[in-house]
Amino acid sequence: MQSLQFLLRASHAALLLVFCLQLGTNTAQEDTATRQSILMDFQVPQVTRSNEEVTGKLVVQTELKECMVIKTYLASSKPIDGPFNYRYTACLCNDYPRTFYWDFQVNSTVRMAAVVDVIPQLGICPNDEAVVPIKANRFTLLRTLFVV
């Protein structure tokens, strides 16, 4: 009888241990699920005059603990020459948001997108310890610049 009681006590302890481990696992999964891999803020004036210089500003940050290599650029509904076509490659970490600027001129109303691609490239982040998200690796924000 005593050996049977010992087994029952051990099984209760084992069940309690499994229960606690399960709670810890669920909490860890919820924490990573709520983190956003890329957060973007694209600022460009809504209205400008023809051939007036406009500055586009893109702030990119992440909530992930790991760093990632990003390539960012602008795309438009109409061809725009000059610095508008510059592409930037940088290391993005959660404690260091990145800010990118473009100065350009337009002659007519244009729809534009700020694009951030997460890419697997070595030599950009320290110790080459960068990750690439599984679900998505391209992020965009759209804006319209009206010319009066």
- Judge residue 100's burial from the number of C-beta atoms within 10 Å of its C-beta, 0-12 exposed, 13-18 middle, 19 or more buried: buried
CB 95 within 8 A of CB 60: no
**CATH assignment of 39-147?**
2.60.40.10
Q: How far apart are CA 60 and CA 18, in angstroms?
A: 41
Amino acid sitting at position 121: Q
Backbone angles phi, psi at 15, to 5 degrees: -65, -40
Average pLDDT of the residues of the chain? 83
pLDDT in tens, 111-126: 999 999 999 989 998 8
| Of 24-28, 71-75, 118-122, 123-127, highest mean pLDDT | 71-75
Q: What is the CA radius of gyration of the chain?
A: 25
Give the model's confidence band at 15: pLDDT under 50 very low, under 70 low, under 90 confident, else very high.
Answer: very low
Domain ranges of the chain: 1-34, 39-147
The pair of three-digit structure tokens given for residue 19, joined into one six-digit string: 């229960």
Amino acid sitting at position 64: L
Q: What is the share, in percent, of the chain residues with pLDDT greater than 90?
A: 57
For the chain, the farthest-separated pair of C-alpha atoms sits apart, in whole angstroms, at 93
Q: How far apart are CA 27 and CA 58, in angstroms?
A: 33
pLDDT at 24 (0 to 100): 53
Give the model's confidence band at 133: pLDDT under 50 very low, under 70 low, under 90 confident, else very high.
Answer: confident
Give the model's confidence band at 72: pLDDT under 50 very low, under 70 low, under 90 confident, else very high.
Answer: very high
pLDDT at 17 (0 to 100): 47
Q: How far apart are CA 134 and CA 144, in angstroms?
A: 30
pTM: 0.74
Return the half-sphere exposure (C-beta side, CA atoms, 13 A cut-off) of residue 6: 3
